[in-house]
Structure 1
């Protein structure tokens, strides 16, 4: 292991040493993760599975797009599903005392 005299180093040298140490730690952790993943993959294969099957990584739960429930009174291209943040045109309609059902599709 290298013997560093930290007190004799400049700020620039210390910052570079800090970056080098962080890079070395990251590389070490990456190697350890890859080794663990390889061991787990081998164990899964021995049992007749893939690691992604066991971890549930092979499936994607995708939601279907929401259906529009409200349409802008003047611009039919603007719609809102009723989920998430209310569009300004919808809020303005409701705040003016009008019924939201007037905009229902």
Structure 2
């Protein structure tokens, strides 16, 4: 993986700027983790389907474990907010649709 370098000189930032940067980095890391986890779940689901199974067939019912299914959509402004496409649409989905986006725009 290629590592990107930042041209930010941290010594020149104020304490408040550094604290905000830390919050932004923590939020970005959570977002990356949530996206990667959703991608891994979709890949596992696809692999199971290639053999004629579902993840429930292989690992038991996810409903018994309290999960609601694999996320299919994510909030572009905060990818940690996901929706499976079932049940009531979250507010961020309704807001995006009102703003002219489609569900395809929100798809993972």
TM-score, normalized by length of structure 2?
Answer: 0.50
CA distance in 1 between counterparts of 2:15 and 2:30 reads 23
Aligned counterpart in structure 2 of residue 39 of structure 1, from 37, 43, 49: 43
Deviation by residue 1:17-60 (Cα, 9 ceiling, x = unmatched)? 00111111111111111111111100111111111232223463
Q: Root-mean-square deviation (CA), in Å? A: 1.9
Aligned structure 1 segments of 4 or more residues deviating by more than 4 angstroms:
none
For structure 2, the residue ranges without an aligned partner over 5 or more in a row are 66-108
Highest RCO, 1 vs 2 (Cα 8 Å, sep ≥ 6): 2
For structure 1, the residue ranges without an aligned partner over 5 or more in a row are 62-105
By percentage of residues, which structure has more strand?
2
